[in-house]
Structure 1
Amino acid sequence: MRNTLGFTEDELRRLAGSRSFERGLGYLSSVSTLEIGERTITATVEGTDAYEVELTEHEDGLTGWCSCPYGQEGNFCKHCVAVGLAVLRQAKSVPVQRAAAASRGRQLDAWLESRNRDELLTLVREHLAGDRDLRHRLELRAAAAGDDFGAVRERVLGLLDTRPFARYGYVEYADARAYGLQATEALSALRTLTETGHAPEVVEVAREAIAALGRTYGEIDDSDGVIGDVAGRLAEVHLAACRAAHPDPAQTADWLVDHLLGDLNDATDIALSDYEDVLGEAGLARARELVVAAWRGNPRGWAEKHLMEQLMKAEGGSVDALIAVHAVDLAPSGATHLMIARELERAGRPAEALDWAERGLWEADPDRGPDHHLVDFVCERYTRGGRPADAVEVRRNVLRRRRTLAAYQDLRTAARAADCWDEPERTRALNVLRTDARPRKSLGSAGSALVDALLDDGDHDAAWEAAAEGYADGRQWLALADRTRDRRPADALDVYLRLIGPLLTRTGDATYEHLTELLLSARTCHRTLNTEAAFTAYMTTLRTDQKRKRKLMALLDRHGL
């Protein structure tokens, strides 16, 4: 049954996941400036930094936003959990606080409506004097309402300028959101100006803004994609203005090709094909002239080659001409061979496509290829063409070059399809992995694909043997113990105790959680072995030795350890 808040502790756990929820419990005392509104809850949570949190209740549930890195990725983080728990702890007073918030809102509306024009102007001017961002936004609206396009340009470029948000020359992720809100005002103004007969001016301003944003984009932490979204919308504004203004096709082609060949397109990701209707025949001819000249001057350049490909597709060029562009610079991984093969297949030339793909396998640099997509392409065509044995041979060669679990799995799949996975095929494959592996002297050393392959096969006894010979790391020992503790509880218990030892000298939430999981597994083994008394004695000693670690003790208490 839902409470008057509209959310429960169980819902917080569901939204955050068990791990973030448990961590949120430890941040309850770090919640400050808690403010409960009619539908929103805001607070500050002290963590590695002071993080701003906002929870919003909707008819279909609760959402949360936090300024921490994990929260900026769209996750309901431990800080959101802490704020939600803090509210639940004072649930009885929440209706009163919400009623007070609603009353304050009504009072404010009534007060504003009772002010006369001069009083409201005075109020707005007071805020403009103390809020530079608000002043800039209103200045833009005022300029857009008049005919002073010079002022509009200055204000738009000012709002799209990232420098005021850069600390030490770099825009951090927390500041990117504020920049996005400001930039939205500029984009709205440009759209309005385009619709009201100022499209030619908008074309020029948008180009200046695109160049400015492109120069600074590499110095912005855009983890949540806010600035990338602004850049994409800015490109849309420019294109819409071009369609409305019909600028000179040749000049537009000059700007477009120069932009696409430069280093400033990462932010906007403009494509030549977007401008086909703007360029028309004359503009496309000019673009072709410029692109071909650039490609001939630097046929190995990625931008030049990519533009040539776009141009040919826009003009409906022949597959052979496209292949000629790519064949000038074949990637050592075989990726270019695959691109050519796919183009040929789309053109209805499957035999030539397979020839190019096979050539990619032969020509690939052993240290950089072959590209796994190329391998998949060839093997799928072999299987489809009734040549499963050839697919197996390709997978064998890949395993010899790339001794990984994935390569082993691919060979196993191909060999089973060819009905040849039984001995000696599997033994040969495992021996390839064994010759690549080296015995490990400690749990911290990197594990081997051999143990992973045996685990993946479900051959646990052979995996234990390989691990005992020194081919397993801590992760693989743990996987072995977890999978076989019902059959080999004594062996699994030994693994858990070996993994527990190093953790007892460390601190931190993640360490305590991992340690608790291992202790729970060890307890399960003792129960299977009917040696619970020994586990009780072990835990008594452990708790005595670790008693200063309060968070660990609380976690152990919570799990009955």
Structure 2
Amino acid sequence: MTWSQRLEELTDGRTIERGQIYAASGRVESLREADGRVSATVQGTEKYRVELTADTYWCDCPVGVTGEFCKHCVAVAVEYEYGSEASAVPLAEHDVPAPDASNGVALWLDGLSADELRTLLVEAIERVDGMAEFVARAQIDATDDLATLADEVADTFSPRRRFYDYRDANDYATGVEPLVQLIEDRAAREGTAEFLRIVQKAIDQAVRTILRSDDSSGLQGMQIDRLLDAHLRAATRSSLSKADAKKLVTWLASFTFSGKQDFFHIDIDKYAHAIGPAGLQEYRRRLDAAAAKDSDDLAVRYAHGRLVILDGDVEQIVAHFGGALEGAYSFVHVVEALEEAGHATEAVDYARRGVAAHPQAPQLGPLVERVVSDARGRGALDEVVAVRRSRFEHHPSTTTFLALERDAVAAGQWTDSDHAATGAALSKVDPRGWVNLLHERRDDAAWTAALDAADRIDVDLWTKLLARRAKTDPASTLPHYQRLVDDVLVKADRQNYRTAARLLRDMRDAASAAGISPEFERVLADIKERNRRRPKFFDELRRAGLTR
């Protein structure tokens, strides 16, 4: 009995149809037969491996690993039996043959639904040059009907393990990624209630999975964020009935206040158009009920904040996000919320207050940028430089130095004495940062600054400085190479041995360039003698070509 004759025994009709479409679309690749085993790869949501024998089958897709005869197995079986007749043809250029027992393509085309046939047509047209606009229109009208999409979401997103370890979690994320992309693409043009419910199903199942996953890589979390963004985009395009708007509010509130998860948030203010005034009122009622149980709950406070932004009252915004305005972060939160609510003038005002109240706080960056942006927009370049200079004086760092230098140069207010004074201040608190800045611009100045703070410059930066210095004055680098090697070898460690060997190799090259190789050989001999009880160090020297 052939595989095609066994398909109905092995799986259901919908899976057979999908597999047949995969085969006809040219998704089966690298088909081989050897020792009674048929193997291939199939381009599904990712590339899956399939193997078929006389009495066994296997696919590494999420469905296949459960032991099911999946659509990828169907595709390989069809491709194997019908060969080129089952592979994709540019249907835009060739007529579909009438059903006939002698025609392999027609064997599976006969009986396919109109939606499945349209899907196949779109996939074939995508391969025809010059048809991009037609494909875009066809995708809007025909590709992946919502019932099929709902089935795919249910099949692909539903968790099938009690726990997903790191590898399993990443495999899950890889498996659902094509559907995530499809949902993102469709959200740009679809706003129906049915589509919203499908996206909600995907989000719910993805959240169920991440709650039982090691998502150290963050892939699943990022996908859920993207699905939430897609849901919002679709909702903003929607025109829902009162009943559907109420269902949407029910899901939004359940997702936020059910207690099943507390790390993904809904910006309810951005759903105001979709749910309407009645929906907002219902959401507020549900929020009040959740607050009555735990007013300090993070989800409750976040939802309150979004509604405060939606209402737009400045005093309420300041009270909710800033409280007593005791720290720099309080001002940052207030400024961000005022910006979102459309109060640009008030945002600048509170940014200035925050900068004045906490001039030395490291968190002031966003407030400084807001003040600078406002001043620059008004053409007040003197104010821009003054704000930058004050920020550097209170919080000297490479970041504030570069910002001051850039804007002062643009305003024509940067001199050599300014550079020297700010550099001296920076070198006191961050000598490495100052040397690194100079290293990228002024070799001699960087070298001098490094000598002044030799013990505060790490090996990596010293290596860069020495490599640059060796091009102009190689002899001067030798004492510093020797010092670094001695410092590195204080600790017996394989990585330290590798670093020491690399430094010695660079030192040898510098000595050769300076014409003083014998001096290097004396240093190397001394280092070998002092470390003669470290065989692993000698292994690294041999790898570096420094000993036999």
Of the three residues 32, 38, 41, the one matched with 1:108 is 38
Q: Does the C-alpha gap of structure 1 residues 369 and 305 become closer, same or farther in structure 2, counting only changes over 3 Å?
A: farther
Of the three residues 361, 369, 379, the one matched with 2:372 is 379
Of the three residues 157, 161, 164, the one matched with 2:162 is 164
Aligned mates of 1:485, 1:200 — CA distance in 2: 65
Quick check: 2:265–2:299 contact (8 Å CA) kept in 1? Answer: no
Matches within 5 A, 1:385-534: 385-422=378-415, 425-433=418-426, 436=429, 448-449=432-433, 451-452=435-436, 455=439, 458=442, 459-460=445-446, 462-467=448-453, 471-504=456-489, 506-508=492-494, 510-511=495-496, 514-534=499-519
Any idea what the Cα deviations from partners look like across 1:274-326, whole Å, max 9, x if unmatched?
Answer: 8667635532331244447768999987644543565577x796788766754
- Which residue of structure 1 aligns with residue 303 of structure 2? 307
Matches within 5 A, 1:114-153: 123=56, 133-135=66-68
Aligned mates of 1:300, 1:365 — CA distance in 2: 31
Any idea what the Cα deviations from partners look like across 1:90-149, whole Å, max 9, x if unmatched?
Answer: xxxxxxxxx9x9441886389xxxxxxxx9996469x9xxx87224979xx9xxxxxxxx
Quick check: 2:256–2:262 contact (8 Å CA) kept in 1? Answer: no
Matches within 5 A, 1:292-371: 303-304=299-300, 306-308=302-304, 310-311=306-307, 326-328=321-323, 332-333=328-329, 334-340=331-337, 342-343=339-340, 350=345, 352-364=346-358, 366=360, 368-371=361-364
- What secondary structure sits across from 2:328 in the alignment? coil
Aligned mates of 2:547, 2:419 — CA distance in 1: 45
What amino acid does structure 1 have at the position aligned with 2:446?
H
Matches within 5 A, 1:136-285: 160-161=158-159, 163-166=161-164, 171-172=165-166, 174-180=167-173, 209=205, 212-213=208-209, 215-216=211-212, 220-223=214-217, 225-226=219-220, 228-229=222-223, 249-250=245-246, 252-261=248-257, 271-272=267-268, 279-285=275-281
Gapped regions of structure 2 (runs ≥ 5): 1-29, 41-51, 75-149, 184-192
- Whether 2:544 is the aligned partner of 1:556: answer yes
Question: Following TM superposition, by how much is the alpha carbon of 1:371 offset from its aligned partner in structure 2, in angstroms?
Answer: 2.5
- What secondary structure sits across from 2:67 in the alignment? helix
Aligned mates of 1:419, 1:542 — CA distance in 2: 53
What amino acid does structure 2 have at the position aligned with 1:355?
D
Q: Does the C-alpha gap of structure 1 residues 531 and 358 become closer, same or farther in structure 2, counting only changes over 3 Å?
A: same
Quick check: 2:385–2:404 contact (8 Å CA) kept in 1? Answer: yes
Quick check: 2:159–2:209 contact (8 Å CA) kept in 1? Answer: yes
Aligned mates of 1:220, 1:362 — CA distance in 2: 44
Aligned mates of 1:261, 1:223 — CA distance in 2: 27
Any idea what the Cα deviations from partners look like across 1:40-84, whole Å, max 9, x if unmatched?
Answer: xxxxxxxxxxxxxxxxxxxxxxxxxxxxxxxxxxxxxxxxxxxxx
What amino acid does structure 1 have at the position aligned with 2:158?
L
Aligned mates of 2:411, 2:535 — CA distance in 1: 60
Question: Following TM superposition, by how much is the alpha carbon of 1:477 offset from its aligned partner in structure 2, in angstroms?
Answer: 3.6
- Choose 284-293 or 322-331, whichever is displaced more: 322-331
Aligned mates of 1:301, 1:453 — CA distance in 2: 46
Quick check: 2:305–2:320 contact (8 Å CA) kept in 1? Answer: yes
Question: Following TM superposition, by how much is the alpha carbon of 1:530 offset from its aligned partner in structure 2, in angstroms?
Answer: 1.1
Question: Following TM superposition, by how much is the alpha carbon of 1:175 offset from its aligned partner in structure 2, in angstroms?
Answer: 2.2
Q: Does the C-alpha gap of structure 1 residues 426 and 322 become closer, same or farther in structure 2, counting only changes over 3 Å?
A: same
Q: Does the C-alpha gap of structure 1 residues 281 and 183 become closer, same or farther in structure 2, counting only changes over 3 Å?
A: same
- Which residue of structure 1 aligns with residue 128 of structure 2? none
Aligned mates of 2:292, 2:384 — CA distance in 1: 39
Aligned mates of 2:389, 2:426 — CA distance in 1: 12
- Choose 526-535 or 326-335, whichever is displaced more: 326-335
Quick check: 2:372–2:387 contact (8 Å CA) kept in 1? Answer: yes
Aligned mates of 2:263, 2:154 — CA distance in 1: 18
- What secondary structure sits across from 2:38 in the alignment? helix
Aligned mates of 2:371, 2:496 — CA distance in 1: 46
CA RMSD of aligned residues (A): 5.8
- Which residue of structure 1 aligns with residue 92 of structure 2? none
What amino acid does structure 1 have at the position aligned with 2:66?
D
- What secondary structure sits across from 2:386 in the alignment? helix
Gapped regions of structure 1 (runs ≥ 5): 1-98, 111-118, 142-151, 191-196, 438-446
- What secondary structure sits across from 1:175 in the alignment? helix
Quick check: 2:170–2:220 contact (8 Å CA) kept in 1? Answer: yes
Aligned mates of 1:286, 1:362 — CA distance in 2: 42
Question: Following TM superposition, by how much is the alpha carbon of 1:413 offset from its aligned partner in structure 2, in angstroms?
Answer: 2.7
Aligned mates of 1:515, 1:413 — CA distance in 2: 39
- What secondary structure sits across from 1:414 in the alignment? helix
Aligned mates of 2:378, 2:221 — CA distance in 1: 48
- Number of equivalent positions: 414
